[in-house]
Protein backbone atom coordinates (compact mmCIF):
# COMPACT_ATOMS: atom_id res chain seq x y z
CA UNK A 1 0.00 0.00 0.00
CA UNK A 2 1.37 3.40 -1.00
CA UNK A 3 1.19 6.55 1.06
CA UNK A 4 -1.10 9.13 -0.51
CA UNK A 5 0.39 12.63 -0.78
CA UNK A 6 -1.77 15.38 -2.20
CA UNK A 7 -0.13 17.46 -4.93
CA UNK A 8 0.06 21.22 -4.36
CA UNK A 9 -2.04 22.06 -7.40
CA UNK A 10 -4.91 19.90 -6.07
CA UNK A 11 -5.15 21.66 -2.70
CA UNK A 12 -8.50 23.46 -2.34
CA UNK A 13 -8.64 26.28 0.17
CA UNK A 14 -12.03 27.43 1.39
CA UNK A 15 -12.86 30.65 3.24
CA UNK A 16 -14.49 30.47 6.67
CA UNK A 17 -16.13 33.27 8.64
CA UNK A 18 -15.80 33.15 12.44
CA UNK A 19 -17.77 35.60 14.57
CA UNK A 20 -15.99 36.20 17.88
CA UNK A 21 -18.79 38.30 19.38
CA UNK A 22 -19.60 37.12 22.92
CA UNK A 23 -17.52 33.97 22.44
CA UNK A 24 -14.66 32.78 24.63
CA UNK A 25 -11.06 33.36 23.55
CA UNK A 26 -9.86 29.77 23.91
CA UNK A 27 -12.85 28.26 22.12
CA UNK A 28 -12.51 30.64 19.18
CA UNK A 29 -8.74 30.12 18.97
CA UNK A 30 -9.15 26.33 18.94
CA UNK A 31 -11.69 26.47 16.12
CA UNK A 32 -9.47 28.82 14.10
CA UNK A 33 -6.34 26.71 14.63
CA UNK A 34 -8.12 23.58 13.37
CA UNK A 35 -9.32 25.39 10.24
CA UNK A 36 -5.88 26.88 9.53
CA UNK A 37 -4.10 23.54 9.92
CA UNK A 38 -6.61 21.60 7.81
CA UNK A 39 -7.10 18.83 10.35
CA UNK A 40 -10.77 18.47 9.44
CA UNK A 41 -9.96 17.43 5.88
CA UNK A 42 -9.73 13.75 4.92
CA UNK A 43 -6.43 14.34 3.07
CA UNK A 44 -4.73 15.80 6.18
CA UNK A 45 -1.03 15.17 6.47
CA UNK A 46 1.07 16.87 9.17
CA UNK A 47 3.90 17.78 6.80
CA UNK A 48 1.65 19.52 4.24
CA UNK A 49 -0.14 22.84 4.50
CA UNK A 50 -3.75 21.98 3.60
CA UNK A 51 -5.54 24.58 5.74
CA UNK A 52 -8.16 27.10 4.77
CA UNK A 53 -8.51 30.87 5.04
CA UNK A 54 -10.21 32.21 8.17
CA UNK A 55 -11.83 35.63 8.56
CA UNK A 56 -12.52 36.63 12.16
CA UNK A 57 -14.97 39.47 12.80
CA UNK A 58 -15.88 41.29 16.03
CA UNK A 59 -12.48 40.64 17.59
CA UNK A 60 -12.97 43.46 20.08
CA UNK A 61 -16.02 41.75 21.65
CA UNK A 62 -14.25 38.56 22.80
CA UNK A 63 -14.88 37.22 26.32
CA UNK A 64 -12.79 35.29 28.86
CA UNK A 65 -13.84 33.29 31.90
CA UNK A 66 -12.99 33.81 35.54
CA UNK A 67 -10.51 36.49 36.58
CA UNK A 68 -8.32 36.11 33.50
CA UNK A 69 -9.17 39.59 32.31
CA UNK A 70 -7.07 41.10 35.11
CA UNK A 71 -4.84 38.19 36.20
CA UNK A 72 -3.59 36.75 32.88
CA UNK A 73 -0.22 38.27 32.07
CA UNK A 74 1.77 38.41 28.84
CA UNK A 75 5.55 38.66 29.22
CA UNK A 76 8.18 39.90 26.79
CA UNK A 77 11.89 39.68 27.55
CA UNK A 78 14.37 41.67 25.46
CA UNK A 79 17.39 39.64 26.60
CA UNK A 80 18.98 42.48 28.52
CA UNK A 81 19.10 42.80 32.32
CA UNK A 82 15.90 44.43 33.52
CA UNK A 83 14.39 44.06 30.06
CA UNK A 84 11.28 42.12 31.02
CA UNK A 85 7.94 43.71 30.22
CA UNK A 86 4.55 42.45 31.31
CA UNK A 87 1.01 43.41 30.46
CA UNK A 88 -2.35 42.04 31.55
CA UNK A 89 -4.98 40.73 29.17
CA UNK A 90 -7.07 43.82 29.92
CA UNK A 91 -4.24 46.13 28.76
CA UNK A 92 -3.60 44.06 25.63
CA UNK A 93 -7.28 44.04 24.64
CA UNK A 94 -7.50 47.82 25.10
CA UNK A 95 -4.36 48.34 23.01
CA UNK A 96 -4.94 45.77 20.24
CA UNK A 97 -7.66 43.09 20.52
CA UNK A 98 -6.55 41.54 17.23
CA UNK A 99 -3.16 40.69 18.76
CA UNK A 100 -4.78 38.70 21.58
CA UNK A 101 -6.62 36.40 19.17
CA UNK A 102 -3.58 36.13 16.87
CA UNK A 103 -1.34 35.21 19.83
CA UNK A 104 -3.76 32.56 21.11
CA UNK A 105 -4.05 30.97 17.66
CA UNK A 106 -0.30 31.12 17.11
CA UNK A 107 0.35 29.23 20.32
CA UNK A 108 -2.17 26.53 19.33
CA UNK A 109 -0.44 25.81 16.02
CA UNK A 110 2.55 23.47 16.00
CA UNK A 111 5.89 25.33 16.13
CA UNK A 112 7.26 24.26 12.76
CA UNK A 113 8.01 25.81 9.38
CA UNK A 114 4.35 25.80 8.36
CA UNK A 115 3.14 28.01 11.21
CA UNK A 116 4.04 31.33 9.56
CA UNK A 117 2.27 30.40 6.30
CA UNK A 118 -0.81 29.27 8.18
CA UNK A 119 -0.96 32.52 10.14
CA UNK A 120 -0.82 34.51 6.90
CA UNK A 121 -4.22 33.04 6.03
CA UNK A 122 -5.74 34.41 9.25
CA UNK A 123 -7.57 37.73 8.77
CA UNK A 124 -8.80 39.48 11.93
CA UNK A 125 -11.13 42.52 12.03
CA UNK A 126 -12.45 44.53 14.97
CA UNK A 127 -16.00 44.88 13.68
CA UNK A 128 -18.25 43.20 11.11
CA UNK A 129 -16.85 45.08 8.11
CA UNK A 130 -14.22 43.20 6.10
CA UNK A 131 -13.02 43.21 2.46
CA UNK A 132 -13.37 39.43 1.92
CA UNK A 133 -17.09 39.20 1.19
CA UNK A 134 -16.52 38.05 -2.42
CA UNK A 135 -14.27 35.16 -1.38
CA UNK A 136 -16.70 34.02 1.32
CA UNK A 137 -19.63 33.90 -1.12
CA UNK A 138 -17.60 32.06 -3.75
CA UNK A 139 -16.35 29.32 -1.41
CA UNK A 140 -19.80 28.17 -0.18
Express each pLDDT in 1-57 by its tens digit. 787 788 889 999 999 999 999 999 999 999 999 999 999 998 888 889 999 999 999
User: 54: which strand partners?
Assistant: 16, 122
Rounded to the nearest 10°, the torsion over CA 53, 55, 60, 65 is -60
pLDDT at 65 over 70: yes
Structure confidence by residue, pLDDT tens digits, 70-114: 999 999 999 999 999 999 999 999 999 999 999 999 999 999 999
Buried b vs exposed e over 108-140: b needs ≥16 C-beta within 10 Å?
bbeeeebbeebeebbbbbbeeebeeeebeeeee
Helical residues (DSSP H) of 47-112, grouped into ranges: 68-71, 89-95, 97-108
The reported pTM is 0.91
Band of pLDDT at residue 138, cut at 50, 70 and 90? confident
Cβ atoms of 57 and 17 within 8 Å: the answer is yes
The full set of domain ranges for the chain reads 14-63+97-139
Kindly report the CATH number that applies to the domain delimited by 14-63+97-139.
3.90.1180.10
User: 76: which strand partners?
Assistant: 85
Band of pLDDT at residue 140, cut at 50, 70 and 90? low
Amino acid sequence: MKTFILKNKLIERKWHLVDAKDDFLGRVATKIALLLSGKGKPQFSPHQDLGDFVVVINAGKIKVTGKKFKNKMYYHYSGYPGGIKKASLEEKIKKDPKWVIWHAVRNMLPPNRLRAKRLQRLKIYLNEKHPHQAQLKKSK
